[in-house]
């Protein structure tokens, strides 16, 4: 089954949560937290959000995304924080850039 970003954006919940952008190889390229998953994830694909060259570069590499819906914003924050620590540990760096291990 093919991942169609436009279709998947319509399915996002309005709950707090954590989202993971992935490239065409399925590697996580960015992890973030949101108070409202639908609004936050959709914001990356709006033309106005792509004014920043770093965001534009990242968005051009997004092939799919996943998310974990949370009950509260605090739960999303804790999950995002734990994910950042995991990624830094897995890559052997102390930099919390929110990228996944190779």
Residue 100, domain member (yes or no): no
Domain containing residue 24? 5-91
Asked if the structure places residue 102 within a domain, the reply is no
Q: Which residues of the chain are under the pLDDT cut of 70?
A: 48-50, 83-102
pLDDT at 55: 87
In this prediction, residue 94 carries a pLDDT of 32
Domain-embedded: residue 58? yes
Pairwise CA distance, residues 73 & 93, whole Å = 27
Q: What is the pLDDT of residue 79?
A: 83
Asked, for residue 38, whether it belongs to a domain, the answer is yes
CATH number (domain holding residue 49): 3.40.1440.10
Q: Is residue 99 part of a domain?
A: no
- DSSP state letters, the chain: ----HHHHHHH--SS-EEEEEE-TTS-EEEEEEESSHHHHHHHTTSGGGGGSHHHHHHHHT--EEEEEE-SSHHHHHHHHHHHHHHHHHHHT-S--------
Domain assignment present for 96: no
By the 10 Å C-beta count (0-12 exposed, 13-18 middle, 19+ buried), 73 is classed as middle
Report the domain count for the chain. 1
What is the model's pLDDT at position 84?
Answer: 57
Is residue 60 one of the residues assigned to a domain? yes
Say what the pLDDT of residue 83 is: 65
pLDDT of residue 76: 87
């Amino acid at each position: 089954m093919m991942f169609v970003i436009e279709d998947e954006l319509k399915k996002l919940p309005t709950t707090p949560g954590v989202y993971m952008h992935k490239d065409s190889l399925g590697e996580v390229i960015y992890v973030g937290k949101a108070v409202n998953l639908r609004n936050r994830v959709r914001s990356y694909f709006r033309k106005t959000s792509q004014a920043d060259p770093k965001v534009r570069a990242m968005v051009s590499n997004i092939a799919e995304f996943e998310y974990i819906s949370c009950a509260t914003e605090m739960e999303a924050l804790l999950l995002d924080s734990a994910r950042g620590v995991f990624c830094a540990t897995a890559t052997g760096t102390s930099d919390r850039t929110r990228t996944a291990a190779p």
